A = this chain, B = another copy of it.
Amino acid sequence: MAKFLTNREENYAQWYNDLVIKADLAENSAVRGCMVIKPYGFAIWEKIQAELDRMFKATGHVNAYFPLFIPKSFFSKEAKHVEGFAKECAIVTHYRLKKDENGKGVIVDPTSKLEEELIIRPTSETIIWNSYKNWIHSYRDLPILINQWGNVVRWEMRTRLFIRTAEFLWQEGHTAHATREEAIEETVRMINIYAEFAENFMALPVIKGYKSENERFAGAIDTYAIEAIMQDGKALQAGTSHFLGQNFAKAFDVQFTDKTGKLDYVWATSWGLSTRTIGALIMAHSDNHGLVLPPRLAPIQVVIIPIFKNSVQLEQISEVALKIRKKLEAKSITVKFDDRDNNTPGWKFADYELKGVPVRIAIGPRDIQNGTVEIARRDTLKKETVTVDTAISQISHILDEIQGNIFRKALEFKKENTLYVDKWEDFVNILDNQGGFIMAHWDGSPETEEKIKEETKATIRCIPFDSPEEDGKCIYSGKPSKRRVLFARSY
């Protein structure tokens, strides 16, 4: 299997696409820009959902569901918001098909034209704040801490599986607060949850920071993001949390009576993480053999493969395999015993490597005699023969070790590829020849950022929360700067 993958070093983009297809994660659909998430890819999303949902609920959030459709007039109420999304939205204009009188099959019935067009939500601030208007009257109705799991549509022209698709799945949190401070606290809390999730579950080290004005969410006062580095040195934004101020409350006239009896507009946040994180997961860890999945998000954590020449051997091996599976499942480890007889063990080895299963246990006739099994780790590709009992007692530990090892490797890569640059010439050279995260000074103006983007395709990924104050000169304009910001080309 693996040999059919394009070499990662030769063509990273093609390697990625091959991998997504051949590991059976997703494929392009017949609808422009929309993907089909296949069962193996969707199982990863289910794991992501389960963990995030647990984290959201542990911090007091509840789920709800708002309409897919947004009336055009709502969509237009917040000026920057509509400006940001107007150019890429799917628009429903009719609600009925009919038989063509000229026999050309089925056509849109012109008499079913809607009075007001409906936009398929690209994000739900407007339809949600229109509802919150009726829910919020007093400070007693606050905070509202709601999350929604669902699909959204942004009519992207250049798409890539998981990373950028016209329709994608995500969660969007929309919270309402009585004070500015509380809303900012929530915005920070959620970017921290995303970072914690990325590092502990996706094994993905991230940089948390503020977005520059140019890169902010349309309608936000402030956007915080987590940025991760991919193996080709490009950045990928894996989650964002927005402080919306009173913008949407003002657009939808959502006021409340505070404790002193005074009327004020409600403070808002929103935050989202989408199926594009699956793309990050793939790009950050995988190799020329295929996927490398962190055990905590792997749909199958251990695969057991029997090596046999006849049914007597298979029977003996199955007995041991089923015993191991039972013991591991009792420890909440997900195990697959692949006893199909239509593929060779070698084919299966390659296939589960391609699919990134963290641990492979192989059992052959000699193992049965010796009371042993062979354990192979996907991250290091190292093999070891151990007794059945050792395997059973050690697998949890090995899975933890793999999780840690993948994270450390990614952390090391990020460290090596984060460069502190002070000369424009170096800045350009690094971007053109090796890529990576560049920490450089910036004069703080949107114009400079725009020019840097035009000349190098690099943008400010974020202004890291932990970037220390440091006097310096802007990498482009030479004007004074107080701290370094993170530049990179990005997905």
Contacts and interface: CB of A to CB of B under 8 A. Distances in A.
A151 B88 CA distance: 21
A86 B91 contact: no
Interface stretch (A31-39, A194-202, A241-249, A350-358): A31-39
B131 A29 contact: yes
A65 B427 CA distance: 42
Interface string A64-86: 11111111111110000010001
User: Interface of chain A, helix or strand or loop or mixed?
Assistant: mixed
Greatest chain B CB density within 10 A among A37, A63, A88, A106 is at A106
A90 B96 CA distance: 7
Given A86-B97, A91-B93, A155-B95, A39 B68 contact: no
Greatest chain B CB density within 10 A among A63, A67, A105, A131 is at A67
A330 interface: no
A89 B27 CA distance: 26
Greatest chain B CB density within 10 A among A36, A45, A167 is at A36
A415 interface: no
Interface string A152-186: 01010000000000010100000000000000000
B68 A153 contact: yes
Contacts of A70: 31
A58 interface: no
Nearest to A97: B86
A143 to B, nearest CB: 13
A92 B90 contact: yes
A268 to B, nearest CB: 17
A114 to B, nearest CB: 9
Contact of A91 (B29, B73, B88, B97): B97
Nearest to A151: B68
B90 A108 contact: no
A189 interface: no
Contacts of A74: 30
B30 A42 contact: no
A213 interface: no
A57 B94 CA distance: 38
Given A127-B31, A151-B151, A106 B82 contact: yes
13 contacts: A27-B134, A30-B71, A31-B71, A31-B118, A42-B65, A46-B63, A67-B167, A72-B97, A86-B96, A88-B95, A90-B95, A91-B108, A151-B151
Q: Which 4 A-B pairs have the closest CB atoms?
A: A34-B67, A86-B97, A39-B62, A37-B65
Interface of A: 27, 29-31, 34-39, 42-43, 45-46, 62-76, 82, 86-98, 105-106, 108, 117-120, 127, 130-131, 134, 140, 146, 150-151, 153, 155, 167, 169, 342
